[in-house]
Amino acid sequence: MSEDVRKRAVRKRAMVSTVHRGGGLAAAGGSPGGVWGVLRATYAGPAWTSTAFTALTAVLAVPAFLTVLILTVVGVPLLLVALAGVPLIWAGLLTARLSTRVDAWRFETMLGWQLPLRPTPTRGPDGRYGRFGRFGGELRRLSVGGSWLNVVYTLVVAPVFGWLGGWLLFVAWGGGLAFLLFPAYGFTLSAGERIFGRDLGYGGSVALHVGLGVAALLAAPWLARGLAFAHHRVARWLLSPRGEELLAQRVEDLESSRAGMVAAAAAERRRIERDLHDGAQQRLVAVAMTLGRAQTRFERDPDGAAGLVAEAHAETKRALAELRDLARGIHPSVLTDRGLDAALSGLAARCPVPVTVDVDDGQGRDQDADAVAYFFVAEALTNIARHATATRARIVVRRGGGRLVVEVADDGRGGAREDRGSGLAGLRDRARAVDGTFTLSSPAGLGTTLRLEMPCAS
**Average pLDDT in the 194-203 region?**
58
Instruction: State the amino acid at position 256 in one-letter form.
Output: S
**Terminal alpha carbon distance of the chain:** 76
Answer yes or no: is pLDDT of 403 > 60.
Answer: yes
CB 405 within 8 A of CB 453: yes
pLDDT range class, residue 364, cuts 50, 70, 90: low
Residue 15 has what pLDDT? 43
Residue 18 has what pLDDT? 38
- Which region, left, alpha or beta, applies to residue 445 given φ > 0 means left and ψ of -120 to 50 means alpha? left
Answer yes or no: is pLDDT of 3 > 60.
Answer: no
Residue 196 has what pLDDT? 47
Q: Which of 107-111, 207-211, 427-431 has the lowest mean pLDDT?
A: 427-431
Answer yes or no: is pLDDT of 212 > 50.
Answer: yes
* Domains of the chain and any CATH numbers: 2-37 (no CATH), 46-239 (no CATH), 253-330 (1.20.5), 338-455 (3.30.565.10)
Residue 160 has what pLDDT? 92
| Cα dist from 9 to 18, 22, 126, whole Å | 14, 20, 91
pLDDT range class, residue 66, cuts 50, 70, 90: very high
| Cα dist from 95 to 81, 123, 153, 155, whole Å | 23, 19, 12, 11
**Higher model confidence: residue 391 or residue 183?**
391
Q: What is the CA radius of gyration of the chain?
A: 36
Answer yes or no: is pLDDT of 298 > 70.
Answer: yes
How does 90-129 read in b/e, with b if 16+ C-beta sit within 10 Å?
bebbbbbbebbeebbebbeeebebebebbeeebeeeeeeb
Q: How many CB atoms lie within 10 A of CB 153?
A: 22
Give the C-alpha separation, 114 to 116, whole Å: 6
Residue 370 has what pLDDT? 82
pTM over 0.85: no
Q: What is the pLDDT of residues 161-198, one digit of tens each?
A: 999 988 998 988 888 888 888 777 766 665 555 554 45
For residue 147, report the phi and psi dihedrals to the nearest 5 degrees.
Answer: -65, -40
For residue 439, report the phi and psi dihedrals to the nearest 5 degrees.
Answer: -125, 130
- Averaged confidence pLDDT in the chain: 76
**Higher model confidence: residue 412 or residue 272?**
412
Q: What is the pLDDT of residues 125-160, one digit of tens each?
A: 444 444 444 444 455 555 555 678 888 899 999 999
Give the C-alpha separation, 201 to 193, whole Å: 7
How does 180-196 read in b/e, with b if 16+ C-beta sit within 10 Å?
bebeeebeeeeeebeee
Handedness of CA 233, 236, 239, 241 (dihedral sign): negative
Give the C-alpha separation, 250 to 256, whole Å: 10
Residue 250 has what pLDDT? 67
